[in-house]
Amino acid sequence: MKKSEERKIVIFFALTTCYIIKCAAHKEHTNGLSSKLLIISFDGFRWDYLQKTNTPNFDKFLRGGVHARLGLKNAFVTNTFPNHFTLVTGMWENIHGIINNEMYDPVLNETFAPWMKKALSDPAWFSVGAEPIWVTNQLQKPNGRSGVIMWVGADAPIKWVQPSRFIPFNESIKEYDKVDTLIKWFTDQYPINLGLLYSMQPDEDGHVYGPDSTEVIDRIAQLDEVVGYLLDQLERHHLLEDLNIIITSDHGFSSTPKEKEINLDAFIDASSYMITGLSPVANIWPKEAKMEEIFQNLTRGASHNGHFIVYKKEDIPDTFHYKYNRRIPPILAVAENHFSFSTEKEPWSMLGDHGYSNSYQDMHPFFLAMGPSFKKGYSVDTFNSVDVYSLMCHLLQLRPAPNNGSMSVVKTLLLEQEESTSMMTFMTYLIGGLLVSSVASIFMFGVCRYRRYLSSQKRFDYSHMGVRSNLSTFVGSTMTRELSSPEKVSSIFPLMSDSD
């Protein structure tokens, strides 16, 4: 075998070894995670709603996936906008800045509310440091594409990024049409790998009829049918086996009977303050020089009434994660569960509400998940809603942006990879070791062959040198004998005869 051929074989096996080890290491790193994720939020879906009626399609997640038995512990205040933004950023409300459905920013000197379309698309409200999952997905993945239907924060560019596909809030769009849109996005020529869908039910019915009403129970059954339609369409389009699905909500619900109304006009003059968000957490911005007067009057009212607490901003409990942000008001009044604030301008009007302290179990939303990355028939008691962002990043194989969440509990929801990872590691090194040994053996074999070749060449040279030496001696002695006789000279070298 020629030296050049041996070198080619060595190089080939070396490159093959590197490639196999790289592929095995990549497989070990990803642990077989799916690259597609769908998150669905049913607004106001309390942790125990599945117990109220038959839900055969939601039950598929209970049997074939994971769930939180007591729901998620969401963020205070337990309202729609702040908690939907917490879910997709992993940040507490005082960090991401969406501190309530309605709020005032003293630096912008502007007010925010869900019905203000200009504010919804203004990055000054949303792009203040938080990074939603669709931004993380599109910044880190070359082919990362996100499809978002009506999720809080998606209207505004955040870090100069907006979802690849987006539908703004429109209550006239039916749930089945939302599902069809997502299916189309997942099966496009340039498909999304991340989808988010928001539904305003059963929140709307919970406010109007109360959380324990027959209307809410009927709505739960209807939403179960929507989930069934979703699963059927995913299976029909061959998406189900490669898609992780999370179904959750922003908050739970409490009943708010008329007899538990608290009229703030009985304690403070309506002309002495501005309010952004009234019940069950009143955000009070006192007018100039009215701070102490309002606080003292509300404190006395709380003591007399016994069903609400008043805080100055600096005294808000740390457990609320609701203190260090300029949009949080100087005075915060927090009603006890089931009680409602009202004023003459904003009278009591709902049979159900949310927004209360997240320490109340009624405020906790449900959590279900199913897919190739999740265990089957597994559950935990609860975990924080800020943990969902880290979970989503893990499922999408993304590096999380700074957040307040943790993987400590949610990692237990995932298929255990220790055994498969250990086996993969063993096989990686075994294959690599065998290939390296093979390459080394071939290399050593080539070296030995080459050394033998060199030795044989040297022996050949030495033998020929001996022949030449003997021949020279023989020729020399012959020539000497011949030349010793003058008469032979002319016969051997005729041009050297004496006649010349």
Backbone angles phi, psi at 322, to 5 degrees: -145, 50
Could you tell me whether strands 254-255 and 194-199 are parallel, antiparallel, or unpaired per DSSP bridges? unpaired
Catalytic entry in 80, 89, 276, 428: 80
Across the strands, what pairs with 105?
110
- Separation CA 96–CA 132 (nearest Å): 10
Measuring CA to CA, how many Å separate 184 from each of 147, 195, 414?
Answer: 10, 11, 28
**Alpha carbon distance, N-terminus to C-terminus of the chain:** 60
Closest CA to 370 of 236, 197, 227: 227
- Separation CA 454–CA 462 (nearest Å): 12
Q: Is 181 one of the catalytic residues?
A: no
Residue 249 is which amino acid? Answer: S
- Separation CA 343–CA 382 (nearest Å): 36
Measuring CA to CA, how many Å separate 204 from each of 150, 152, 468?
Answer: 15, 17, 111
Measuring CA to CA, how many Å separate 117 from each of 84, 89, 113, 158, 169?
Answer: 18, 22, 9, 16, 10
Could you list the active site residues? 80
